[in-house]
Amino acid sequence: MDTQSLKIVLTPALVGMASLVGRRFGPAVGGWLVGLPFTSGPVTLFLALDHGAGFAATAAAGTLAGTLSQAAFCVAYGWLARRGSWPVGLGAGLLGFAASTLLLERLSLGVGVICVAVMAGLALALWAMPRALEAPRSTRPRLPAWDLPARMVVATAFVVLLTSLAARLGPELTGLLAPFPLYAAILTVFGHLHGGPDAAIKVLRGLLFGLFSFAGFFLVLALTLERAGLGAAFAAAIAVTFALQGGSLWILRGQRIAEEATGRSAAS
């Protein structure tokens, strides 16, 4: 199978699986799951297949830095979620992502410095995010039949477009654009539409927790792609991602239990 066919098969399969799990377990877990590199991971894989390990490693370092842009998206959307409709929050979030990306493109930082900045930035973003004031609606919304296919098509088109333009954009900018919050924006907007601003905030907080494993994935790739080879690098990155994702889910569940207990105490 050539790389173009692999893009068309792998990307929608990953996005479709993530969508179904998110629907089953609610907005916070859906946001957490979006933290996994369902689109940017395949982008890096296809860059390595098309342009070599060195190009892909540089792009992976850029994607690691781009985690900060995703955090900016979350905080900007979160703070405007209750101040207007979803277009206001989405516009602010995308503006935050764009501003952060432009700033990061002008900086030249080593992988170690980027990693420290990302971890500190994610912790700061979690602290700065507003709290959801109420639980999402108990009844799950009935989504339109075109929702899941549309997500898969849009995500696949993004991966194909970005990897096709990679040679012109260069590895750094390609990496910075790879974590564009395409799927996160879709999930947040649907949460906002059907569950109100607090459901959107829960999605975004879940995403921030999931981004720790996202950062771990690309840190491993940036450090090992050229040294260990494609298979070993991705195997190590996936192992680190699952370990960090499991830890973040444990913390997220602990917070959810504490919030539910607080809600029951307030009601009584």
Mean pLDDT of the chain: 81
- Which helix (H) or strand (E) covers residue 142, if one does? none
Note whether 221 and 237 are within 8 A (CB).
yes
The structure's pTM equals 0.81
Of 204, 237, 220, residue with least CA distance to 97: 204
pLDDT one-digit tens code per residue, 110-168? 999 999 999 999 999 999 998 876 554 444 556 666 667 777 777 778 778 888 888 89
Say whether pLDDT at 268 is over 50: no
Cα 236 to chain centroid, rounded:
19
